[in-house]
Structure 1
Amino acid sequence: MRKWYKLLILTTKQTMYTNTISVIVHTSYQAHVWLLSPPCQPYTRQGLQKQSGDARAFSFLKILELMLQASRPPVMLFMENVVGFETSDTHTKMIEILEKAGFSTQEFILSPMQFGVPYSRPRYFCLAKRKPLSFQKQLHNNQLLWSPSPLLDNDADLESIETHGSQATSDKLLLSCEPICRFLDHSNHRELSFYDASSIQSEVALEKNEDPNEQVIESFNQYLVPSGLIDRWGSAMDIVYPDSRRCCCFTKSYYRYVKGTGSLLAPFEAERMGKAHSLKEQKLRYFTPREVANLHSFPKDFQFPQHIGLRQRYALLGNSLSVAVVAPLLRYLFTEPS
């Protein structure tokens, strides 16, 4: 029989006061499952790595401490953060509190690439179940796994495909991913050049008696990387092609900056354009928000409200999660042993 659970989704912030957190934990929701995504800045490699000494870690730890006092604590917990959290003192305190509260835990570091998506975005995940509930595969209790095999049926095939390991393992992981062209706006990009507007039809433009070619060119021009940025930062850019099987993680600063914020696309096929051509000749562009959403495995009918600007769309996507990774994790969390 399918069970339904109340969910409490908490994206903890420094500005949440202790009394507000107390009200949420003690009285407001009485949720069966808590989904937690606390601030990642205390644990990122680029940050100061103050861990629990960072004020932004306070609310998360406070929520966990108050859980011990709750009249009806959650029966399940899902927590996500950046790689690096697993070695922090905040992680140590979290595990101590969960053990004291009677939870069994299973931890993962997973990337969309392990699910066939050409997107390198490794993240730390903690799944917890309060006794007497138990995981379907209890042999992984109190372990940190770098493989998605417990989540999937074909364990043997994916056991060796991990995000850390030998070069052979990395090569095998790349081969398991779809090419980036499958996630672009135009699925028939081999026949349709990114700049061949004459072959693009726009029903909306036709209804408005506008030239669809001009409309497409204008809309796509905003994604071109300015030549000045190529001159300055070209050597630091991560450039991928439609036939590539990996792109870098998109951050909330994508489109505002080009260094270290995500991959750029050279939209012409490598065999047609030649990877030895200069960067300016390759007509570099940013991935569109729709394409970034595709790489996050968002549904095809997902759309932003019209009032959300372009930079804000990139920022929201940069702070989001991969559906390809989170969906099997939640399915595994909710599954009871047979």
Structure 2
Amino acid sequence: MEGERVPWRVLELYSGIGGMHYALKESGIPAQVVAAIDINTTANQIYGHNFPDTALWNKTIEGISLEDFNKLSIDMILMSPPCQPFTRLGLQGDVADLRTKSFLYILDLLPRLRRLPRFILLENVKGFESSSARERLVKTLVECGYTFHEIMVSPTSVGMPNSRLRYFLIAKISTENFISSKMDSVFGGLDQCSEEEKLQRLLKLKLRYFTPREVANLMGFPQSFSFPEQISTRQQYRVLGNSLNVVVVARLLQLLVS
């Protein structure tokens, strides 16, 4: 659109091993990650190994001031807040869980930014959609004038052999609403089997563990993605388990900015 600056300046919160960054590259959107923020030192080693030119802040989000965020002058926020407070197998502490503190800080900070980011994409586990944290998120977005759309997506919907249902929210400052039919056409055919049914089917098969490289392939990471030599196999599995599907996020980013 006229008057827009390109490339867009992107802030990657809870950056992990760079799944959002890879999705941004996969989407073809003209954008630059101006800062990535995470406190996981192992994940940061991997992120820095693959994106050495990106400013990586190894600090807590709530330790970053409003002025620091304003100086970044961002157009887009990509984030995948800690999922443990919302997972069905966890304690479901929701907003009472200390791991949600940084996310609540973001929601408090967003309306006070000198310049609101035009686009926001958030990923989390199934269970987030019924949480108090989600209610606060939606309330904040509405108050700030965002249009948003929520969807549950598994990578199987985009042809990836990876059944991993996740919650996504995409939001933008716009006078036009998202078109639900367009979202359904992109992510049609979502696998509706319960996790228990899937597990029972898998138990009947003779299986082996995927290697970390195979897991990364299933999650859509490009062949250029690699681990530093000092990262153990156990650590590789752990950080991949906390990451997201690159192809799904890339599709959502394309929808978000179209």
Same fold (TM over 0.5): yes
Aligned to 1:294: 217
Q: For the Cα contact (< 8 Å) 2:124–2:167, is it kept in 1?
A: yes
Q: C-alpha offsets along residues 96-142 of structure 1, whole Å, 9 cap, x if unaligned? A: 0000000000111100111112211111000000134x45xx343xx
Once residues 291 and 13 of structure 1 are traced to their aligned partners in structure 2, the CA distance between those partners, rounded to angstroms, is 26
Residue in structure 2 matched with residue 95 of structure 1 by the alignment: 138
Code of the aligned partner of 2:167: Y
Match of 2:97 among 54, 57, 65: 54
Give the root-mean-square deviation of aligned CA atoms. Answer: 3.0
8 Å CA contact retained: 1:105, 1:126: yes
Query: What letter corresponds to residue 103 of structure 1 in structure 2?
Result: Y
> What SS does the corresponding residue of 1:119 show, helix, strand or coil?
coil
In structure 2, the residue matched to 1:150 is 182
* Cα distance in 1 between the residues matched to 2:187 and 2:174: 29
8 Å CA contact retained: 2:158, 2:187: no
How far has the Cα of 1:6 moved from its partner? 0.4
> Paired residues, what number?
211
Mapping of 1:1-338 within 5 angstroms? 3-11=6-14, 16=60, 18-25=62-69, 27-132=70-175, 134=176, 138-140=178-180, 150-151=182-183, 155=185, 159=188, 161-164=189-192, 238-239=202-203, 266=206, 285-335=208-258
Identity %: 39
Deviation for aligned residue 1:36: 1.3
What is the distance in 2 between the residues matched to 1:304 and 1:19?
28
Q: Report deviation, 1:50.
A: 1.5
Q: Is the 8 A contact 1:21 1:63 kept in 2?
A: no
Q: 1:107 to 1:13 in 2, by over 3 A?
A: farther
* Structure 1 gap ranges (5+): 141-148, 167-173, 175-234, 242-265, 267-283
Preserved CA contact (<8 Å) 1:7 1:35: yes
Instruction: Write out per-residue CA displacement over residues 138-196 of structure 1, whole angstroms, 9 at most, x where no aligned residue.
Output: 343xxxxxxxx6258xx3x964x233389xxxxxxx9xxxxxxxxxxxxxxxxxxxxxx
Contact 2:156–2:190, Cα closer than 8 Å, also in 1: no
Amino acid at match of 1:164: Q
Which of structures 1 and 2 has the larger relative contact order (alpha carbons within 8 angstroms, sep 6+)?
Answer: 2
Deviations 1:16-60 (A, max 9, x none): 3645243443x3311100011111111011111121111111211
Distance in 1 (CA, whole Å) between partners of 2:193 and 2:91 is 28
Q: 1:116 to 1:19 in 2, by over 3 A?
A: closer
Deviation at 1:95, TM superposition (A): 0.3
Larger Rg: 1
Shift of the 240–73 alpha-carbon distance from structure 1 to 2, 3 Å rule, reads: farther
Alpha-carbon shift at residue 80 of structure 1 (Å): 0.6
Code of the aligned partner of 1:291: E
Please identify which structure carries the higher strand content: 2
Contact 1:114/1:162, CA 8 A, preserved across alignment: yes
Deviations 1:203-250 (A, max 9, x none): xxxxxxxxxxxxxxxxxxxxxxxxxxxxxxxx9894586xxxxxxxxx
Q: Secondary structure of 1:113's match?
A: helix
What 5-or-longer segments of structure 2 have no aligned partner?
A: 15-37, 41-58
Distance, in Å, in 2 between the alignment partners of 1:54 and 1:329 is: 28
Q: Secondary structure at the match of 1:106?
A: strand
Counterparts in 2 of 1:4 and 1:83: CA distance versus 1, 3 Å: same
Distance verdict in 2 for CA 1:127–1:287, change over 3 Å: same
Residue identity opposite 2:66 in structure 1: S
Distance 1:239 1:114, change over 3 A: same
Q: Is the 8 A contact 2:220 2:245 kept in 1?
A: yes
